[in-house]
Amino acid sequence: MTITPDMQTLADISGTVVLAGAGKMGSALLTGWLARGLDPKRVIVIEPYPSADTRSFAAGDIRLNPAAEEIGDVAALVIAVKPQTFGDAAPTLRPLVGSPTLVVSIMAGTTIAMLDTACGGNIVRAMPNTPAAIGRGMTVAVAAKGVNETQRTVADALLRATGAVEWVDDEALMDAVTAVSGSGPAYVFLLAEELARAGVSAGLPADLAAKLARETVAGSGELLHRSDLDAATLRQNVTSPGGTTAAALNVLMSEHGLKELMTRAVAAATKRSQELAK
Ligand SMILES: NC(=O)C1=CN([C@@H]2O[C@H](COP(=O)(O)OP(=O)(O)OC[C@H]3O[C@@H](n4cnc5c(N)ncnc54)[C@H](O)[C@@H]3O)[C@@H](O)[C@H]2O)C=CC1
Ligand SMILES: O=C(O)[C@@H]1CCC=N1
């Protein structure tokens, strides 16, 4: 890979980037890379069941499922298959990894040690989330000891193409990271579902309730994104003393309310991430 130490952008990557697994997260990454200027001629996608979008990318300059001997040297291999299918995929991926190859895995619960055993390479373990599909993802990454600054910069550019990136030094944090930001969008979508359902119970027509819930969650998320205020202050700004919001929050913030539920939910996801590593 010909890259300079001050490389900042995907357009500066001059080696081959292989994406293994173009499902929901892999496709989001791919879309971000192309939007941020990664040369499609440098991209190879390995995907046994390509979506229409992936096939249409492949109708351009991206190579889809080329024969192994046509792949050549790989600058970066991004692994976005399910943790449960990684065992089957690894024998195909291992021959692609040379000593300078950067290996970026986004698989939940798959440790650097497991990746090292299965594939080798210079490993970055990362946890993105699905808002990556619109460039508003949150990714946390941790690099294995052997990863040099240049490889880390390439990994950062690949991940930052879909939103914000935070680097941590302690891999043990990745289980809780997965539980908070990796799985977190599902909790927010569930909130929208349940808010709509509760609206129907309160007498609203279903389509109106769905629109109110969707726009409320989306608008509140955007306000949180743009505001300098923290979530607690934004919540207090909605809450008039003795008003309607206070009545609802008395329920949500009661003893066995959202705090307890969210703590249990995040603990369950953290535990599951730890289990996937066994
Ligand atoms: N969906 C999410 O919100 C997030 C997922 N992840 C991680 O991303 C990874 C992928 O998850 P999703 O995209 O949700 O799953 P997905 O099922 O949509 O995508 C996985 C893709 O891998 C493909 N695949 C299966 N065997 C393969 C092989 N041998 N070689 C190449 N591709 C193969 C499948 O056909 C599928 O398209 C998982 O490891 C997951 O832990 C990480 C963060 C968030
Ligand atoms: O549910 C999962 O296991 C993956 C990891 C984080 C989000 N989806």
Taking the centre of ligand 2 as the mean of its atom positions, its distance from the CA of residue 108, in whole angstroms, is: 6
Residues 104, 79 contacting (CB under 8 angstroms): yes
Residues 172, 38 contacting (CB under 8 angstroms): no
* Predicted TM-score of the model (pTM): 0.94
Q: Which domains does the chain have, with CATH numbers?
A: 10-174 (3.40.50.720), 184-276 (1.10.3730.10)
Instruction: Tell me the torsion sign for CA atoms 68, 70, 75, 81.
Output: negative
Instruction: Tell me the torsion sign for CA atoms 177, 178, 181, 182.
Output: positive
3-state per-residue secondary structure call for 203-245 = CCCHHHHHHHHHHHHHHHHHHHHHCCCCHHHHHHHHCCCCCHH
Task: Report pLDDT digits (tens) over 68-118.
Answer: 999 999 999 999 999 999 999 999 999 999 999 999 999 999 999 999 999
Tell me the pLDDT band of 5, cut-offs 50, 70 and 90.
very low
Q: How far apart are CA 13 and CA 37, in angstroms?
A: 10
Nearest protein Cα to ligand 2, atom 1 = 183
ipTM, two decimals = 0.98
Residues 140, 168 contacting (CB under 8 angstroms): yes
Nearest protein Cα to ligand 2, atom 7 = 183
Tell me the pLDDT band of 149, cut-offs 50, 70 and 90.
very high
Q: Exposed, middle or buried, 146 (CB in 10 Å: 0-12/13-18/19+)?
A: exposed
Taking the centre of ligand 1 as the mean of its atom positions, its distance from the CA of residue 47, in whole angstroms, is: 10
* Ligand 2 interacting residues, C-beta cut-off 6 A: 108, 178, 182-183
